[in-house]
Structure 1
Amino acid sequence: MTTARPRFAITGANGFIGRRLCRRILREGGEVAALVRGTSAHQDIAAPGVRLVTGDLLTGEGLREVVRGADYVVHLAGLVKSPTEEGFRRSNEEGTRRLVAEVGALASPPPLVLCSSLAAAGPSQPGRPRQEEDPPLPVSRYGRSQARRRVRGA
């Protein structure tokens, strides 16, 4: 009896964490559907077992296709530089909502892992590491957009 290979849909697959996660999934026998922008370099993740799906969180293009058939969805993508708060909001908040809506629209929604950034928590106090129960105190536009990225009502 053969076991089906686990299928992962990954946004931000060509980023620092995403590239490593793709390699790990492939090494452990899984398959990846990777959402990539048409302008992004993706040669680092192009491999047998990886299906590249051109798309964009800002427009929603490719989201339905990348999550279709996934056993797990991992959301790593996020805008890290923008001259305006609005740029972060559109990408990191609205883009996340679009992805969540596509996952939720599936007949049997897979688990969604939403990865954020330490910037969402804000800095720790000298001599006291941040604790899980500490409220978020981001100090940058990027950090604030990551803190607002959480999925409400899920």
Structure 2
Amino acid sequence: MISRAEFQVLAKGSNECTNISGSADPGTTGGHVDTAGRRMISNFGLEDCCGAMWSWTSDLLENYPGSVWNSANYYLDSYAWQERSVYNPDIDSQKYGSCFGLLRRCLVGGDWSVGSYCGSRAADCDNFSSDRFAAFGGRAVSEPRVVHLG
């Protein structure tokens, strides 16, 4: 997954403080315009970086101590050993072990419903990897392909 720092560099030049035209799920990628009528593309040619869908990053952040299991009871948000599964049971009901605290994963870019909050530096740092929502997606990065000549 892309890091938050990599995203900020690659999303430079993207739309800021606007979201996708119509403020609705894009359904597809690329070729969109924002609510200001501007094409949603970065200086590096990346499409829909900001204002279409939150993108998961590889960045992890420590949770805040003193909180408890959420009402759905599917993730740990505490600094005590628990024997309950740390996974969302709608996705994975297996119990693969206990845990002591959890880390949150950072989302970047902003989605179709949060217009003025979208941008190359927009971040939502309050989500666990077990969270899922229609407006969460991902981007990946890789090393350039090496072509051997001769």
Please indicate the TM-score interval, normalised by the length of the shorter structure: under 0.3
- Tell me the TM-score normalized by structure 1: 0.22
Higher helix share: 1
Q: Which protein has the larger Cα radius of gyration, Structure 1 or Structure 2?
A: 2
- Tell me the TM-score normalized by structure 2: 0.22
